[in-house]
A and B are shown apart, each in its own frame.
Chain A
Amino acid sequence: AQKITQTQPGMFVQEKEAVTLDCTYDTSDPSYGLFWYKQPSSGEMIFLIYQGSYDQQNATEGRYSLNFQKARKSANLVISASQLGDSAMYFCAMREVYNFNKFYFGSGTKLNVKP
Chain B
Amino acid sequence: DGGITQSPKYLFRKEGQNVTLSCEQNLNHDAMYWYRQDPGQGLRLIYYSQIVNDFQKGDIAEGYSVSREKKESFPLTVTSAQKNPTAFYLCASSRGQGSNQPQHFGDGTRLSIL
Residues of A participating in the B interface, judged by any CB pair closer than 8 Å: 29, 31-33, 35, 37, 42-47, 50, 52-53, 91, 93, 95-97, 100-103, 105-108, 110
Contacts and interface: CB of A to CB of B under 8 A. Distances in A.
Contacts of A107: 41-42
Contacts, number: 68
B76 interface: no
B66 interface: no
B92 A45 contact: yes
B107 A43 contact: yes
Contact of B42 (A50, A95, A97, A105): A105
B104 to A, nearest CB: 7
A95 B107 contact: no
Given A45-B90, A105-B43, A107-B41, A95 B101 contact: yes
